A and B are shown apart, each in its own frame.
Chain A
């Protein structure tokens, strides 16, 4: 129980630090730490396969992507003023999230039931086979989108110079 509280508090603090950090690289690293703590929490909840995936994708791949994008696009940290006024954003978040918590929390007073061991592969391939096909299509669409975005430059820049 104490471990759960510590891990959750650490995860929330890391997520908050990722938002308020001034430098983008520091923000990406806080996000990676939050992701690793989330993977630990998922493992403790009894889903080790997903914990491994979250650790390798969330803390590994996404961080590499962020560092790559920041090194290309460059740091530009002179926009400290927020989009909405901070008090207004705070009120919106407090009202929406507070309402959700207030409605849901009293119904969650029971203890966690005993874990029934199931195999992820059985559920994934036999019950949710359509999901797997959807995921493959999504990954393919993502790759196509990135290719389209990143190869756009060579074809459009000469045209715009002519115009």
Chain B
């Protein structure tokens, strides 16, 4: 069985989503959680581009993927500044240790 180019890129999308989901389930460091979200968003971007490409409307896929890039960057910015604040207030970045709301 020979794979077409569409299937190959789709396998890359699935692989990125799998790595991101696995990292989100396993990782305990808050900054690493943001890394996992970035990988998930990369899979989403590639999926939108692929969908636009096989639909013949690559401009539409591009403009939707542009929205994903912007949202993803804002999530990274907010997540990282939250991590910095949590480090200041709680003294740790371990997700397991952050089960209380007050210090």
Q: A residues bordering B, Cβ < 8 Å?
A: 1, 4-5, 8, 11-12, 15-16, 18-19, 24, 27-28, 31, 34-35, 38, 41-42, 45-47, 49-50, 53-54, 57-58, 61-62, 65-66, 68-70, 72-74, 76-77, 79, 81-84, 86, 89-90, 92-94, 96-97, 100-101, 104-105, 108-113, 115-116, 118-120, 122-124, 127-128, 131, 134-135, 138-139, 141-142, 145-146, 149-150, 152-153
A142–B39 CB distance below 8 A: no
A149–B46 CB distance below 8 A: no
B83–A69 CB distance below 8 A: yes
Q: B residues bordering A, Cβ < 8 Å?
A: 4-12, 14-23, 25-29, 31-32, 34-36, 38-39, 42, 45-46, 49-50, 52-54, 56-67, 69-71, 73-74, 76-78, 80-85, 87-88, 92-96
Contacts of B27 in A (CB 8 A): 19, 82-83
Contacts of B95 in A (CB 8 A): 83
- Contacts A50-B49, A109-B7; is A11 near B16 (CB within 8 Å)? yes
- Contacts A73-B93, A93-B18, A118-B57; is A111 near B67 (CB within 8 Å)? no
Listed from nearest, the 7 A-B pairs whose CB atoms lie closest are: A123-B59, A142-B74, A118-B59, A89-B25, A69-B80, A82-B26, A73-B87
For residue B19, give the distance in angstroms from its CB to the closest CB of chain A: 5
Cα separation A112 to B7 with both chains bound (whole Å): 10
Nearest opposing residue in chain A for B87, CB measure: A73
For residue A134, give the distance in angstroms from its CB to the closest CB of chain B: 7
Consensus secondary structure, chain A interface? helix
Of the A-B pairs whose beta carbons lie under 8 Å apart in the complex, a sample of 24, sorted by A's number, is A12-B19, A15-B15, A15-B39, A19-B26, A19-B27, A41-B12, A47-B49, A47-B52, A50-B49, A57-B69, A62-B76, A69-B80, A73-B87, A73-B93, A81-B28, A89-B22, A97-B17, A104-B10, A112-B53, A119-B59, A142-B78, A146-B78, A149-B78, A153-B88
- Contacts A38-B45, A62-B38, A113-B56; is A8 near B9 (CB within 8 Å)? yes
Known: A8-B15, A76-B29, A79-B29; 8 extra A-B contacts, CB below 8 A, are A18-B39, A53-B66, A97-B14, A105-B7, A108-B6, A116-B56, A116-B57, A119-B59
B23–A19 CB distance below 8 A: yes
Residue of B10, B58, B62 with most partner-chain A CB within 10 A: B62
Contacts of B31 in A (CB 8 A): 24, 66, 69-70, 73
